[in-house]
Amino acid sequence: MKIVIIGAGISGLSLAYFLLEKNPSLDLTVIESEKKAGGKIWTDKTNGFLCEGGVNGFLDNRPKTLELSKKLGLAPLRSNDNSRKRFIFSDGKLKMLPESPLSFFKSDLLSVYGRLRIVGELFVPKGTGKDETLADFAKRRLGKEAYEKLIDPMASGIFAGDPEKMSLKSCFPKVYNLEQNYGSLIRGMIKLQKEAKKTGKKVGAGPGGVLTSFQDGMETIINSLTNFLGSRLCTGSQAVSIDKNKDIYTILLSDGSKIESKIVISAIPAFALAELTNNLDKSLSLLLRDIYYPSISVVCLGYRREKIIHPLDGFGFLIPYREGRKILGTLWDSSVFPNRAPEGKVLLRTMLGGARMSELAEQDEEKQINIVVDELRKIMGINSEPDFAKVYIHRKGIPQYFINHDLKLKKIDDILNNYKGFYITGNAFRGIGVNDCIENSSNLAERIIKDI
């Protein structure tokens, strides 16, 4: 059985692995438009600095990524213990996020009223169950101050998103379900904690888990999957269009050649798939085109350690939009994982752009470096110029799940029901993280094997 997968990011590569694991005799081909596989996962080693150009890790709280790593013979690397400390730049200074309920009430991150308002969440009526924006939900249940100082920067850190547009149900399904199942986030957490003591499992409303990578960076898993696929992976091969005649799909490539197959899976970004399916199905193409991708940049700066007075004893910091800064936040990468900077030096990794400031990530590299250097001077007191700088620009970087994203997925699924043998996956649909992509690939592989 011939199968063609379009796109060799983590979704496409892991899907190919799972399919071949279930049936090694499959005639499977993965085509990738870029010369290098990996999509938004690539690791750059320059002058002794290990920079993640895109994804910098995954959480160890979901099994599929760890299982895949083990099958590939890889040794995951958990982040350093001191990186559990996380900071918010609020009211003009860095403040550590409280790590327990007691420390939360002692913290000055929120005003006394703001802290009491969160406790008042217990008495807020349950929502209707309809999807709402993350901002509306957070203000309704936790209050405006908690939204602005806690929830807003979290949304920027995970999605580079705008909470005023983000879908609660699609972006944070755990939180949505807590309210629907228990009527209150606090009440739900208390009940889940009691159940956890019996089962030994950790629970939480947030993503949880420990950030995990590999000694030589996230591209390690990409290289292993690429080696596993061997000649089945064809890079530098761009799909231009896809058409269907009876039960055969024909993929036209940029060099004029064609590939025919009864089973085709797209693992490319939604905007790219919109172009690809324009002739196949206009309605599908329009729905895919409607998924917004803002631009985002990663600016890596290296300094000699003695140039920075801050202890860098933590993960880094995020910035609420209300602070009016030009960056989303900075991770102290060399404090999070070993092997990220040469001896005596540190590596800081800053995010620029996102849904609210996409245009900043579309400027030339020198301007972006200057913005970050200026912002770190004001936020962290770093008055020296960096010894090393590298910029990684992602135009159309992270897909945004706007309100009623689930209804859009339902329409897409209804259309796909008319196209037997054609499947789509990737981070534009049901989760943007590495764990989401790998889990979705595993589930899709099982479905395809059953359909064959």
Look at residue 58 and tell me whether its pLDDT is greater than 90: yes
How much is the pTM? 0.95
- pLDDT, average across residues 367-381: 98
Cα separation of 139 and 304, whole Å?
42
Share of the chain above pLDDT 70, in %: 98
Q: Residue 158 — very low, low, confident or very high, per pLDDT cuts 50/70/90?
A: very high
Query: In the prediction, which pLDDT does 104 show?
Result: 86
Q: What is the pLDDT of residues 379-420, one digit of tens each?
A: 999 999 999 999 999 999 999 999 999 999 999 999 999 999
Q: In this model, does residue 200 exceed pLDDT 70?
A: no
CA 18: distance to chain centroid?
A: 21
Distance CA 416, CA 413 (A): 5
Residue 333 CA to residue 298 CA, distance in Å, equals 12
| C-alpha 112 chain-centroid distance | 33
The partner residues of 235 in beta bridges, in order of sequence, read 32
**CA 222/CA 214 separation, integer angstroms:** 11
Stronger pLDDT, 143 or 102, i.e. the higher one: 143
DSSP-based three-state secondary structure for 18? helix
172-194 pLDDT, tens digit each: 999 999 999 999 999 999 998 88
Domains of the chain (ranges, CATH numbers): 2-39+63-71+218-292+402-451 (3.50.50.60), 110-199 (1.10.3110.10), 294-394 (3.90.660.20)
Question: What is the residue-averaged pLDDT of the chain?
Answer: 95
Instruction: Please check whether residue 1 is in contact with residue 427, taking contact to mean a CB–CB distance below 8 angstroms.
Output: no
Query: What was the pLDDT predicted at 54?
Result: 95
CA angle, residues 427, 433, 436, in degrees to nearest 5: 75
**What does the alpha-carbon distance between residue 235 and residue 89 come to, in Å, rounded to a whole number?**
42
Mean pLDDT of the 80-106 span: 90
Answer yes or no: is pLDDT of 28 > 80: yes
CB < 8 Å & 24+ apart, contacts of 434-438: 434/10, 434/41, 434/55, 434/57, 434/58, 434/65, 434/218, 435/58, 435/59, 435/62, 435/64, 435/65, 437/9, 437/10, 437/11, 437/14, 438/10, 438/11, 438/14, 438/64, 438/65, 438/68
Strands 258-261 and 248-253: antiparallel
Instruction: Write the pLDDT tens digit of every residue in 271-289.
Output: 999 999 999 999 999 999 9
Query: Can you give the pLDDT at residue 203?
Result: 54
Among residues 398, 399, 390, 311, which one has the least CA distance to residue 350?
A: 390
Cα 333–338–342 angle (5° rounding)?
85
